[in-house]
Amino acid sequence: MDAQGFAAEWETGWNSHDLDRILSHYAPEILFRSAKAAALVGAGDVRGRGALRDYWGRALAAQPDLRFKVVDVFEGHEMIVITYRNHRGVLAAETLRFGPGGLVVEASACHRNEEAAR
């Protein structure tokens, strides 16, 4: 797997705000975990591409200026971790685990506490 290439496309997809492009990297049975999801859709575990589309659609609508800039990429066994900054300069990381077909089957997002970063 080309981790750097994936991260570049991941960043470009997010910055395009094109949900189909973003979701093209994720398996239909994706499990996504995020505290921000819990705040927006009431659950920290988002299961399935349809539910993820709903969550990310709401998130993008609420933040039309959202932009990501990849800071670093870490490679592991069938996984990568992408660290990035958002449009407000907040540092975050996503751990992406890939299935046999090369699609992400599990992802976890962690965000630096904005108050602690100041």
pLDDT tens column, 27-39:
999 999 998 888 8
Topology adopted by domain 3-111: Nuclear Transport Factor 2; Chain: A, (3.10.450)
pLDDT of residue 1: 86
pTM over the 0.85 mark: yes
7 φ/ψ sector (left φ>0, alpha ψ -120 to 50, else beta): alpha
Secondary structure string (H, E, C) spanning 72-111: EEEEECCEEEEEEEECCCCEEEEEEEECCCCCEEEEEEEE
